[in-house]
Structure 1
Amino acid sequence: MAKPSSRGAGAAENSDGARRILQAAESLFAEQGFSAVSMSAIAETAGVSKANIYHHFATKQELYMAVLREACSVTSGLLNDMEAQGVPLRESLPRFAHAHLSSLLERAEFARLVLRELLEEGPKRGKELAEQGFAPSFARLVGIIRGGQASGELRADLDPAMVATLLIGADVFFFEAQNVLRHYPEVDFAENPRRYTDMLIDILLHGILPSPAR
């Protein structure tokens, strides 16, 4: 796994030049895949020299992970909103689910790149993506769900990581399968992501068994 550069990646990624490099890299990675993209092509698209890329990012792998962190910052911002709102989970979870799915649909090419990388590169890429991209946001979501358990909003006997996995997994499935779902006569939510996430959260919170008679 590529080691973080000693240059201070977080600060470097905030410079104007680095921002152009990241945008160019995301576009090319999404279009062609990680292996097919050269640093020269990224430099040309960003309008900088290849030496300038190496000033910010030691390797193509490090640049790819920086692009991934940038994509994950969207989810981090959604979690910030959840934590700042101070509203019950029954209200904040639907908002998160819809915003998360919307972010997948809006950055569809890059989302497909990440999924393709997971399928093609297997355990090696999965470990890198977890450690340098997804794990912090997932841990925060688990923590929010665990907080809901502690406050009595959610069942205490549930595994919060499982709840988070179901929520994220359902969004990813919709993203991957929307073009198929829209051709199923039984499915009337393929063109309405908000309705999909509302129904998803309703099932997560209330299950599929009938409510006991009062």
Structure 2
Amino acid sequence: MTRTRPKKIPAEERRNITVEAVIDLAGSSNPDSITTAAIAKHMKLTQGAIFRHFPNKDAIWKAVMDWVAKNLMARLDRAAGDIASPREKMEAMFLAHIAFVADHPGAPRMLFGELQGARKTPAKRLAQSMMKQYAERLRGVIADGKASGELRSDLDVEAAATLFIGTIQGLVMQSLISGDMDRMRADAPRVFGIYRRGIEADTPTAGRG
């Protein structure tokens, strides 16, 4: 009887599976405590198999941050892409970000861990770049809202962007602490409603929903 050999997984797919394994592990444990041995055990592989695709742990963490950045920004783009109203675009981005975190609770743990770390690793530089890109995109939407008359003419764009991101981070941290990601999904629309009332014009001209 001929034995069928296990299907060989392409290198890129193996790298993606490794990244997903790290995010999965980070959802229930401190990212600093995740070792390559733990990753290999989670994937039912040897450490040697991991290192055939990544030269070291820093390279794995960099790949994880790259995955988070690409997938989060893609989720925001899909949510806001066809919306004309800047205010409604902001709400779509807010809820999409919350949904992404609820689906991948390990992602914010990895992100916060890198941003708080003292080492200037490639992963930390990627995380900082993503946050900068996110803030720039948000400032553009807020500026469009002021120009259209949907948002207050005296609105501080920088402060509004900071508060938007900070509000999401607050919801995320509370959910991670409580371990209740579903509550974050439920709370997000009401929390954004309070934020929106602080930035919108007294008599919005368009896109009221």
Preserved contact between residue 101 and residue 172 of structure 1 (Cα < 8 Å): no
Give runs of ≥4 in structure 1 deviating > 6 Å: none
* 2:85 aligned with 1:57: no
CA gap 1:14/1:150 in 2 versus in 1, 3 angstroms: farther
Moved more, 49-58 or 149-158: 149-158
What is the CA RMSD across the aligned residues, in angstroms? 3.6
Calculate the TM-score normalised by the size of structure 1.
0.67
Which structure ranks higher in relative contact order (CA pairs < 8 Å, sequence separation ≥ 6)?
2
Pairing partner for 1:195 from 166, 190, 200 = 190
* 2:72 aligned with 1:71: no
Post-superposition offset of 1:61: 1.6
Aligned to 2:163: 166
How far apart are the structure 2 equivalents of 1:36 and 1:112?
12
Post-superposition offset of 1:78: 3.5
* 2:143 aligned with 1:146: yes
Preserved contact between residue 30 and residue 112 of structure 1 (Cα < 8 Å): yes
Post-superposition offset of 1:20: 1.3
Preserved contact between residue 98 and residue 172 of structure 2 (Cα < 8 Å): yes
* 2:200 aligned with 1:205: yes
Structure 2: unaligned runs, 5 residues or longer: 1-9, 179-183, 203-209
How far apart are the structure 2 equivalents of 1:204 and 1:103?
24
Structure 1: unaligned runs, 5 residues or longer: 1-12, 182-188, 208-214
How many residue pairs get matched? 187
Post-superposition offset of 1:92: 1.5
Aligned identity (percent) is 23
How far apart are the structure 2 equivalents of 1:56 and 1:146?
43
Calculate the TM-score normalised by the size of structure 2.
0.68
